[in-house]
Copies of this chain bind each other. A is one copy, B any other.
């Protein structure tokens, strides 16, 4: 695998259905306003919103792992994962992933790569950001 600082990958649009949001939250984040429509309608959000990790997890699993998973040695750190705006059921969210930093060890053929995930709504406002540092094999 080769990595290039500043390179951005467009992961396209994610739309989380009510069923997906509820199933994910029951497994991972069982708070009433993520698992129950009535509680969600009565919450300050006045609608069903996705669990914080859901947008990242779906894009990590379905887009990032197929592209980069084979080169992973191990995860190192997740930081600055900011939940800036709620993500509602069926809302269109755009995801991009940018290589923010690379620290190579050429003797060992590995690199610590910092990946910046950005999730934006259709007004181009940030809904969520996250930085994930992963140790990869390099060519």
Contacts and interface: CB of A to CB of B under 8 A. Distances in A.
Q: Say whether chain A's binding surface is mostly helix, strand, loop, or mixed.
A: mixed
A124 interface: no
Interface string A1-45: 000000000000000000000000001111110000000000011
Interface stretch (A67-75, A91-99, A114-122): A67-75
A86 B61 contact: no
Nearest to A27: B27
A28 B75 CA distance: 14
Contact of A80 (B44, B60, B74, B77): B77
How many of chain A's residues touch chain B, expressed as a range? 20 to 34
A81 B72 CA distance: 18
A44 B73 contact: yes
A2 to B, nearest CB: 19
Contact of A86 (B65, B70, B72, B74): B74
Given A30-B61, A61-B30, A76 B69 contact: no
Interface of A: 27-32, 44-45, 52-53, 57, 60-61, 65, 69-70, 72-83, 86
Given A31-B69, A53-B53, A79-B81, 14 more contacts: A27-B27, A28-B28, A29-B61, A30-B65, A30-B69, A74-B83, A76-B82, A77-B80, A77-B81, A77-B83, A78-B78, A78-B81, A79-B80, A81-B81
